[in-house]
Structure 1
């Protein structure tokens, strides 16, 4: 089975000001977000990546480009052909909520539904959280199968996307109902790791922002879960 590293884009000006950017064009990383993306790229530089797939929105393309720039032997830049975009992992369509502040939206009746019963949430003029999860999970699983077929079961690839998208993918991999996905945290530029196996997905990490990832180079995929937890990955040789 291949390994997918789910990376949320770095912090944006909209994140910092409490604005729900949604699919608004031109939203880019702020100075903190650029530093976050660089830190994540440095963590991933020890892992040869088979592919980098990104949401088409600018903040994700910026993050993906920084990740590619830190890969040995690549000259990836934002918009580089080496970055593949996938509309199916773009931000949720928040409809009429897009462009409004979170403080203002918290006063809406729908806010409580989004927080406590997200499977029933449909954004006015936009999409439902169920539809968002269905398209994003299908896209990640489909791309993962293609990459494994092309590069083998030890391939590692990156999907750069958005907070709610990654939370919904992780909820699916964890076997959680969508109504529980608000229990998952996904911070800007965080790294989460999933392997899809023949028996079940394996969630290896969630919402990490530090730590050596070189062990992924030598972590052989396994079919069965280790009873008792197993020995974990072997220390990297450097």
Structure 2
């Protein structure tokens, strides 16, 4: 896997640009741990995705990929409809599998000691019958790095908030236990550039009004 942060030199390395987009808003946002459930965008989310699409038209996007979840597919389809690209569903971009927690409200989870462990020891904790954070980051990073050197234009990958935060932690060398030190908001964009043997984050959590 790639490691390190890219440092400018006199050469001209092949740069692969990836725009990581979090899906737009839905009714369960901030209230329910949606996980891999079929949660659709609400009207505000549809407007967010359309607004984002208009800003992304200036980027040389060559392909659009999205998590199989409904809300990511809808977000990606709205963007693709504006720029004339079809969406490819990619399992590696899927939400974390929260197992038995899927669909439960955050208020219900508040008294669960396993939930507390998940939020304080994200690098090692695993949801009951679910997927650990490290495993989710590993599959996502492996997919992204498989694009390094591809001459297909910018890749737009629509995925989920914690997945994006995990990828950012990976490339900044930040322990996953500190994943809550920054935000990744709905319909925001995080720009990642991959070079041979290295990577650079151009920006994180950029929103468009």
Output the TM-score relative to the length of structure 2: 0.88
Aligned to 1:149: 150
Aligned to 1:41: 53
Tell me, yes or no, if structure 1 residue 65 matches structure 2 residue 66: no
In the alignment, the residues of structure 2 paired with residue 88 and residue 132 of structure 1 have an alpha-carbon distance, to the nearest angstrom, of: 8
Larger relative contact order (Cα-Cα within 8 Å, sequence gap ≥ 6)? 2
Give RMSD over aligned pairs: 1.4
Q: How many residues align?
A: 195
Larger-Rg structure: 1
Structure 2 unaligned regions, length at least 5: 1-14
Q: Contact 2:24 / 2:49 at 8 angstroms: preserved in 1?
A: yes
Q: Contact 2:118 / 2:127 at 8 angstroms: preserved in 1?
A: no
* Deviation for aligned residue 1:113: 1.8
* Deviation for aligned residue 1:115: 2.0
Match of 1:160 among 141, 158, 161: 158
Q: Secondary structure at the match of 1:104?
A: helix
Aligned to 1:125: 129
Q: Secondary structure at the match of 2:25?
A: coil
Aligned to 2:115: 111
Aligned to 1:182: 180
* Deviation for aligned residue 1:199: 4.6
In the alignment, the residues of structure 2 paired with residue 104 and residue 192 of structure 1 have an alpha-carbon distance, to the nearest angstrom, of: 31
Output aligned runs, 1:22-37, within 5 Å.
22-25=35-38, 27-37=39-49
Match of 2:194 among 189, 196, 199: 196
In the alignment, the residues of structure 2 paired with residue 133 and residue 38 of structure 1 have an alpha-carbon distance, to the nearest angstrom, of: 28
